A and B are shown apart, each in its own frame.
Chain A
Amino acid sequence: IAGITQAPTSQILAAGRRMTLRCTQDMRHNAMYWYRQDLGLGLRLIHYSNTAGTTGKGEVPDGYSVSRANTDDFPLTLASAVPSQTSVYFCASSPGTSGSSYNEQFFGPGTRLTVL
C-alpha cells in the first residue's frame, strides 16, 4: 500500500521548458491538492480538486495547470518553467471534499524542482 506517490523525486529544468509533476493516490480519496513549500514561507496551495472531473485555483495558481481525469491521479503541469518556480512541491489528498470540517490531509513525499 503506497498511499500517495509523486514523481520525479527531484528534477533540474531549464527555464522555458514544460514539465509535468505526477501524483497518484491509492486511498480512493475524493480531494487532492498541490502545494509548494519555500523556505520561510508556509505551504501555499496551487490548485485543488474536490472530486474527479473538477478543479479549482488556490492561492498561487499562475503558471500552473492541473487535471483530474480520475480519482487516483492529479498531475501538475508547468507550461513554461521560470526560476521563481524553484520549490518543493507536495501533493496531498483527503477523504472528504474541501467542504468537510475534519479533513485530514495526507501528503506525498514531495518533488524538489530547480529551474535554471
Chain B
Amino acid sequence: GQNIDQPTEMTATEGAIVQINCTYQTSGFNGLFWYQQHAGEAPTFLSYNVLDGLEEKGRFSSFLSRSKGYSYLLLKELQMKDSASYLCAVLDSNYQLIWGAGTKLIIKP
C-alpha cells in the first residue's frame, strides 16, 4: 500500500528553527509537495521537490532524498503566523497526489 508518515504535532518557540519530517512509501514517485493549512482554511502551496537536494524559498526550505523516501520542511525565524498544519504529499506513478495526515505546528512566544 501507499503510505506517508509525518509527526502528528510539533511545538516550537517564536524565532527558532523547526524541521518537519516526512517519509513515504508510494507506487512510483513524480515529485513531493509541501502545503500549509491554517485552521479552518484551505491548503496553500509551499514547495515542490522532484530532484534530490535542498530548495530554499525565503524562511522556508524543503529537502528531498529519493533513495531514502524522505523529505523535510525547514522553517526558520519562526513567527506566530506560522502556527498551522503542514501537509506532505507525493505524486505517485499514476500522477495522483497521496497526502500525509499533516503535522500541526504550535508556535509559543
Q: Which of A99, A107, A108 contacts B95 (CB 8 A)?
A: A99
Residue of B nearest to A40 (CB): B101
A-contacting residues, B77-109, CB 8 Å: 87, 89, 91, 94-102
Chain B positions within 8 Å of A48 at CB level: 96
Q: Are A42 and B102 in contact (CB under 8 A)?
A: yes
Specify the chain B residue showing the minimal Cβ separation from A48: B96
The interface residues of chain B lying within 8 Å CB-to-CB of A90 are: 42-43
- What CA separation (Å) do A100 and B60 show in the bound complex? 25
Whether the pair A102, B95 counts as a contact (CB closer than 8 A) is no
Smallest CB–CB gap between A71 and chain B, Å? 19
- Residues of chain B within 8 A (CB-CB) of A97 are 95
Q: Which of A41, A43, A103 contacts B43 (CB 8 A)?
A: A43
Question: What is the interface size of chain A, counting residues whose CB is below 8 A from a CB of the partner?
Answer: 23
Given contacts A102-B50, A103-B91, contact A108 B96 (CB under 8 A): no
Interface residues, chain B, CB within 8 Å of chain A?
Answer: 4, 30-31, 33, 41-45, 48, 50, 87, 89, 91, 94-102
- Beyond A42-B89, A45-B96, 5 additional pairs, beta carbon < 8 A: A45-B97, A98-B95, A98-B96, A101-B30, A105-B45
Some 17 contacts from A to B, beta carbons below 8 A apart, are: A41-B101, A42-B4, A42-B87, A42-B99, A43-B87, A43-B99, A44-B99, A97-B95, A99-B95, A101-B91, A104-B33, A104-B45, A104-B48, A105-B45, A107-B44, A109-B42, A110-B41
